């Protein structure tokens, strides 16, 4: 499905670049609505005591191992993979030496703030024992 969408966008770009811009705006709006709904769902069960207990890293048998750490990077890496798109489009910009760094810093800040908000909201929504259940996110929200 993702590959078909990319091919469709590439074909649209050749015929009507305004449509691609509109689709991009729709994707950003959907992303922001998803972020807002995730945070709203987490605020429903927000607990300051859960947040405080989840701030420190786990110790002992609950400590994070190689498998958990690899899952974490598997999730986070794709969030930053699109950063180089601004470099690929630099030839089309009037001032790429200003626009590209601004776009990269904006993307890193937006992604970092969004992921941080989600992590804090999830950490405040339940005690550590519930968070370690494999289907927590499916039944919590």
Query: For 83-121, how does the pLDDT look when each residue is reduced to its tens digit (9 = 90+)?
Result: 777 777 778 888 888 888 888 888 888 888 888 888 888
pLDDT digits (tens, 9 = 90+) for 19-73: 777 777 888 888 888 888 888 887 888 888 888 888 877 766 666 677 767 776 7
- Checking if the pLDDT of 125 tops 50, the result is yes
What pLDDT does 141 receive? Answer: 47
Q: Give pairs for 127-136: CB < 8 Å, separation 24+.
A: 127/50, 127/53, 127/54, 128/53, 128/54, 128/58, 128/62, 131/54, 132/62
The encoded tokens of residue 135 equal 């289907």
CA distance 83 to 111: 10
pTM: 0.63
């Amino acid at each position: 499905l993702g590959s078909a969408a990319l091919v469709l966008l590439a074909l649209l770009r050749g015929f009507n670049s305004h449509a691609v811009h509109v689709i991009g705006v729709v994707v950003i709006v959907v992303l922001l609505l998803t972020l807002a709904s995730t945070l709203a769902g987490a605020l429903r069960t927000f607990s300051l005591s859960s947040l405080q207990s989840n701030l420190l890293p786990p110790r002992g048998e609950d400590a994070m191992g190689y498998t958990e750490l690899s899952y974490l990077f598997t999730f986070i890496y794709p969030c930053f993979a699109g950063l180089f798109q601004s470099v690929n489009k630099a030839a089309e910009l009037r001032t790429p030496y200003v626009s590209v760094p601004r776009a990269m810093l904006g993307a890193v800040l937006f992604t970092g703030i969004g992921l941080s908000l989600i992590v804090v909201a999830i950490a405040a929504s339940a005690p550590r024992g519930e968070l370690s259940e494999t289907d927590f996110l499916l039944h919590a929200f």
